[in-house]
Amino acid sequence: MYEGVVQDLIDELGRLPGVGPKSAQRIAFHLLQADPADVRRLADVLIEVKAKVKFCSICFNVSEEETCRICRDPRRDPSVLCVVEEYKDVVAIERTREFRGRYHVLGGAISPIDGIGPDQLRIRELMSRLSDATIAEIILATDPNLEGEATATYLTRQLSPLGLRVTRLASGLPVGGDLEYADEVTLGRAFAGRRAAE
């Protein structure tokens, strides 16, 4: 399409998740028109992120130190562990301000189609974290899709013999939704996960 470095930029931007060819082209031309200082600042931040950010040695969340701020926080409840697929899920849960335990980031979900099995995830590391007997409950907070359900089912089978309380995030109707627009699976889960009225 374009010559040399412009096409290279579009191609590289197009490799980013969620960025299609048209978005990549739009971003590339925005960068071409941007102030050189702004582009330099973006480039510097990208290089700095790759140099400084690593994964927490305990939970595998992103961190600039050996352990993340959540693992270092003595106010967090060490007896409750929330297992998530990706570090972006930690951010989503933290925004609720409802969870005060700790996390374990698996690094994905079981997906045979994509060649991802239990050995490609941080399940071994999860099992070794459970050896110190401080954890009493594990909350499985995987995505409510086929891969997330497969991962939760696998983990439940692995964790059940350990005598820990294993729970799964509730799923069902979204707040502000209409029953008539809910699909059968969502509505079924809402019935299965019903609780006493307050």
Beta strand 80-84 with 62-63 is unpaired
What percent of the chain stands above pLDDT 70? Answer: 98
Average pLDDT value for residue range 169-175:
78
CA distance 150 to 172: 18
Residue 55 has pLDDT above 90, yes or no: yes
Structure tokens at 110: 């079981």
CA distance 83 to 1: 44
> What's the pTM value of the predicted model, to 2 decimals?
0.82
Average pLDDT value for residue range 77-90:
96
Structure tokens at 193: 């996960």
Residue 54 has pLDDT above 90, yes or no: yes
Give the H or E element holding residue 159.
helix 146-159
Residue 197 has pLDDT above 80, yes or no: no
Segment 16-27, tens digit of pLDDT: 999 999 999 999
pLDDT tier, 187 (very low <50, low <70, confident <90, very high otherwise):
confident
> How many residues are recorded in the chain?
198
φ, ψ of residue 86 in degrees (nearest 5):
-130, 160
pLDDT tier, 133 (very low <50, low <70, confident <90, very high otherwise):
confident
pLDDT on residue 198: 67
Q: How many CA atoms lie within 13 A of 175 on its CB side?
A: 0
Structure tokens at 23: 């978005």
Segment 153-164, tens digit of pLDDT: 999 999 999 989
Residue 109 has pLDDT above 90, yes or no: yes
**Cα dist. 172→21, 121, 144, 184, 190 in Å?**
35, 27, 10, 10, 4
